[in-house]
Amino acid sequence: MKDYYLARVLHVVGVVLWIGGVAFVTAVLLPAVKRMREPDERVKFFEKVEAGFARQARVTTLLTGLSGFYLVRSLRAWDRFADAHYWWMHAMVLVWGLFTLMLFVLEPLWLHRWFQARAQRDPEGTFSIIARMHWVLLAVSVITIAGAAAGSHGWSFGR
């Protein structure tokens, strides 16, 4: 059973590093980049910092996904996905899936090139789109974290 505790610790640490990084990028980095005077400087700086975070986010999303799968498997909690009271488990999988898709598929295959091309044409509009996208992802992530924290400690809507 000690492996369950280690998996839970790794899961929580992974989420804290991953979503904490998303919060930093959203609330601190993007507004700072938007205030830079030169559009070329914005793009270069943002890409440089974001590349470092993307590496960290890939590791932590992988850690979070593996530990989450292990926890569901070891607790035999698959049936929770059929119960609406465990909506937060669905939300965790959804958030994890969205970020995994973005980090491992969309960003390397398409999003990086799209960002560069769009930022050359319309840096202000591009950063506005990216900022809105980050705020939406952060809001969904925070709601999910709150639901998971409450639900894993026995509190749930409608019960």
The whole-angstrom separation of Cα 79 and Cα 95 is: 20
Interval 49-86: pLDDT, tens: 888 899 999 999 999 999 999 999 999 999 999 999 89
Interval 128-159: pLDDT, tens: 899 999 999 999 999 999 999 999 888 876 55
Burial 30-67 (b: 16+ CB within 10 A, else e): beebeebeeeeebbeebeeebeeebeebbebbbbbbeb
What band does 2 get if pLDDT is binned at 50, 70 and 90?
Answer: confident
Amino acid 120: pLDDT? 87
Interval 98-125: pLDDT, tens: 999 999 999 999 998 998 899 889 888 8
Q: Nearest to residue 104, comparing CAs of 65, 145, 69, 131?
A: 65
